[in-house]
A and B are shown apart, each in its own frame.
Chain A
Amino acid sequence: MALLEVRGLVKHFLGVTAVDRVDLVVEPGELVSLIGPNGSGKTTLFNCITGYLAADDGRALFRGRDLTKAAPHRVARLGVARTFQQVSVFPRLSVLDNLLVFLQQHQEEHLLARLLRTRRVRRLEAEAVARARRMLDLVGLTARADAAAGSLSYGQRKLLAFAGALMPDPDLLLLDEPAAAVNPTMINQMKEHILGLHRQGKTVLLVEHNMDVVMDISQRVVVLDHGQKIAEGSPEAIRRDPRVIEAYFGR
């Protein structure tokens, strides 16, 4: 069974059809990129899959379960993690707490046990802290662990948001422009992180404008234009596809 299966998904906004009957299948372990000009509907598609927007038609199935009616926190609990195009952190929480919050809901959510701080909850918390520290090491934020996330630079916040999405070890990771608006060193760093995930067998759906990154690391590329899927194939095939060239340069 496909891990993610989007069938005929449609989303309208006041006269604009932002997503227009899109079909998309992602198999377990795949690294797929979703590209398209500005306003082609990539973020809207992510929002429909992860419960932030209600689709007008069509379905998004994760392991055969319909996500289109589920709230964001339900989708997250099923094992679908996402990042946001507009970098997003919890500004008044510490950097460490930003990561812990992404794991704790997956470990347990027993309000009374949390209030009483039972031994089980304290053990899970210790495990979460250990994992969060490894994540901070991975993205190079260990020195800022106790700082408020709001005090980080733009690039650091982007890394923090990425590490947060990885905290619950999600089965499917949706990344919305992880390499946008950061310096070249960090673009490479991001690329290595994503490739690392792929090698570990993680499934990744990547929205990215940086063609070097997309062409370098994707197994398969899906192209949207005006909400419609206009092409799909290997990076080489997409690079040469006349419809894609038309969509990007033809106007």
Chain B
Amino acid sequence: MRRAATLVLAAAVVAAPWLVAVVVPRQQRYLLHVLIFTALFATLALSYDLVVGHVGSLSLAHPAFFGVGAYAAAILATRAHWPFLADLLAAALAAAVVAALVGVPLFRLTEHAFAVGTLGLALVAGIVANNWVEVTRGPLCITGIPKPVLGLPGGPMVAITTLPGYYWLALAALVAVALLYRRLTTFRLGRAFHAVRDNEPLAGAAGIDPLRYRMLAFTIGAALAGVGALYVHYLSVMCPEEMTVALTVNLLVIVFLGGVGSLRGVLLGAVLFTALPEVLRLAPTWRLVIYGALLLLVVVRSPEGIESLLRRVSGARAGR
């Protein structure tokens, strides 16, 4: 029964472009755009949750990692004419290198100072993006980023030019990140992450080096945020505004609304945050008011997020 429901849902997600075309043909382009954004935000939120949800460090640095990846991809694609997959890989690597460099000193800080320090990193990254004009073109933005072309040198090439094509590309990235997320957060790695999150001194007594596992989550989280560079190929432009603190706020809402430390929760949060208001056609101001109120309600009533609330409700109904 459950399996069947999951299969139907998965089929619907894959077939979404056709469903949209059949059900609401007049808004097809707009809805596909929303779906692409949902997949991108879900990917970013999963990468963010590796740190916030699984090793319990409130990092506010994610826009910096996303930005480093996005600019690396944008610059390599426009000036050096790197192929899509190569610039995507370089984006992930560049973000990971930045995280590896700043992570050790940041994690030496206490919990609150860590949050402030990572916020500082995000602000500095934003300032650099705006002012290092020779490289980023500052507020003029990097434009003309080519459409992604998939394939290996010498083999067949597929250019992604249509909206459904972008959607499937974003979905493939999301699925890959979700699988990696699950690998990292269960079994022995997940257990070590959660031990550090729950009780750092005791983790030490269990033979766990807390810094090592925090760095692992932080660096991989940054690399996956760098994969968000996919986004600049879709928009064909990268501007400093894409990496402001507003991105952190969005990710925090998604993760804490849906369910911190939970794959299903984060996916649910991304859908609620990105897709729903667009579908309901809410004005942007009202959206923030409603999300603020909703977030407050969830944090007070069900600190683990809506996902755990649903789980509890369905558990109670099943008589467990």
Contact = CB atoms under 8 A, between A and B. Distances in A.
Contacts of A168: 207
A73 interface: yes
Contacts of A106: 207
Contact of A101 (B183, B184, B191, B216): B191
Contact of B201 (A88, A121, A125): A88
A91 B192 CA distance: 13
A90 B195 contact: yes
A72 B192 CA distance: 15
B39 to A, nearest CB: 24
B206 A117 contact: no
Interface in A95-116: 97, 100-102, 104-106, 111, 114-115
Contact of B208 (A73, A111, A115): A73
A139 B194 CA distance: 24
Interface stretch (A56-64, A75-83, A210-218): A75-83
Contact of A121 (B188, B191, B204, B208): B188
B204 A88 contact: no
Contact of B194 (A77, A88, A92): A92
B205 A50 contact: yes
A93 B186 CA distance: 11
Interface in B179-217: 183-184, 187-189, 191-192, 194-195, 197-199, 201-210, 216
Given A73-B207, A73-B208, A73-B209, A125 B187 contact: yes
A25 to B, nearest CB: 23
Interface in B31-86: none
Interface residues of A, number: 33
B183 A73 contact: no
B206 A93 contact: no
Given A72-B201, A90-B195, A91-B199, A111 B206 contact: no
B207 A115 contact: no
Contact of A73 (B184, B199, B204): B204
B195 A101 contact: yes
A164 interface: yes
Given A51-B204, A101-B191, A92 B209 contact: no
Task: Please classify the interface of chain B as helix (H, G, I), strand (E, B), loop, or mixed, using the class held by over half of its residues.
Answer: helix
Contacts, number: 82
B183 A76 contact: no
A164 B206 CA distance: 8
Nearest to B180: A115
Contacts of B187: 114, 117, 125
A9 B201 CA distance: 22
Contacts of B206: 73, 76, 101-102, 105, 164
Given A72-B201, A76-B207, A88-B201, A97 B183 contact: no
A233 to B, nearest CB: 30
A100 B192 CA distance: 10
B186 to A, nearest CB: 10
A168 B207 CA distance: 10
Contacts of B201: 52, 72, 84, 88
A8 to B, nearest CB: 25
Contacts of B184: 115
A111 B190 CA distance: 11
Given A114-B189, A115-B189, A72 B194 contact: no
Residue from A72, A82, A93, A117 having most chain B Cβ neighbours under 10 A = A72
Contacts of B207: 73, 76-77, 102, 105-106, 168
Interface string A150-184: 00000000000000110010000000000000000
B205 A93 contact: no
A101 B208 contact: yes
Interface of A: 50-52, 71-73, 76-77, 81-82, 84, 88-93, 97, 100-102, 104-106, 111, 114-115, 117, 121, 125, 164-165, 168
Interface of B: 183-184, 187-189, 191-192, 194-195, 197-199, 201-210, 216
